[in-house]
Structure 1
Amino acid sequence: MNKIQKLAVLSVLPVTAALTAFPAQAAERPTCPVPTKAEAERSSDTKIDKPPRGAAALKGVRVDHIPKGFTYGQVVVNKHDGITEYGYQWGDDRSDVDRKHRSLWVRVVCWPKASEPAQLKNAPFDLGTFSGATETVKIGGRQVLTQEGDGALGHGRYAGWVEREGVVVTVMASRPLVPELAKIIKGIKL
């Protein structure tokens, strides 16, 4: 083997090693972000974060666009019917009935049966069901199921999509935040 052939073989080795590592890395990545035991305990104890957490409020989820003006936040974990709901709620100190109240709820649901947005109408969520007049639209580069917020969720816009099979993301933005909903949705990364 001459010098050029040796250099060619040696230069290909790192690329080959990197390519063979991809399947292993993909297998190690969890299919759905799940809360830690500590987060589940914080949720059941209804602990409030003052000031609220930022972009990495949920382990395994990044929310790159969080509007300004929130004064508190809270982790919400719920496990039932074979699914895990893991979310974070940001809010301000205004009354929930005040139309200027600012709130944002981002939730990841590990639901093995989820594969397309239309299924969200029948999802076994405890809170935040798609039970009203829904429509499928493109928001923030994603195909989402959306509806007007109802009394239980507050005023604003509710949206949800299947990030990948078995992983659902929902977002509830209060009325003052609806103009930023596309930025919020686009900035969510799992």
Structure 2
Amino acid sequence: MRILGIDPGLTRCGVGVVDAEGRAVRLVAVDVLRSAADEPLEQRLHRIASGVEAAIVEHRPDAVALERVFAQHNVRSVMGVAQISGLVLRAAAANGIAVELHTPSEVKAAVTGYGQADKRQVGAMVQRILALESVPKPADAADALAIAICHAWSARSAAPTAALTPAQRAWQAAERASRR
């Protein structure tokens, strides 16, 4: 199963792609989409949305794993994350790809065994799990990969295919076959 993990953010949006078979995961790609704080909001949203759509087209994921928006004290930050999350959900739906939301503590617990792990611990475990030479930088990149890994190891990761229409399942099977 190919999973596109997204760590949503308006300034930096982490995008990580892994191939997973059982608990074995392999890095496919990782990137951070960026927008400048001084750009008009609509341009920033367009820039990030275009990057997410390009990742979907290039990597043809079977599932999208997205970090669930959680309450923060900074309303502007929450709004940016929510806006990007909406764009990701829309892009996935337009491509017939199931989406699962994962909370930050769920992701941390999946990759480190501790739901309150810090970013350094998450990055170190992503490096170890994917057998990388170094921790993906910035932290948004490591977080996107952690979200994808969490989804791969989640009991829910097998469920999205069942929710698809027969045509969508056939399309995904053809996509997987074309990657071999």
Instruction: Name the TM-score class by shorter chain.
Output: under 0.3
Larger radius of gyration: 1
TM-score scaled by length of structure 2: 0.24
Greater helix content: 2
TM-score scaled by length of structure 1: 0.23
Which structure is richer in relative contact order (CA contacts within 8 A, separation 6 or more)?
A: 2
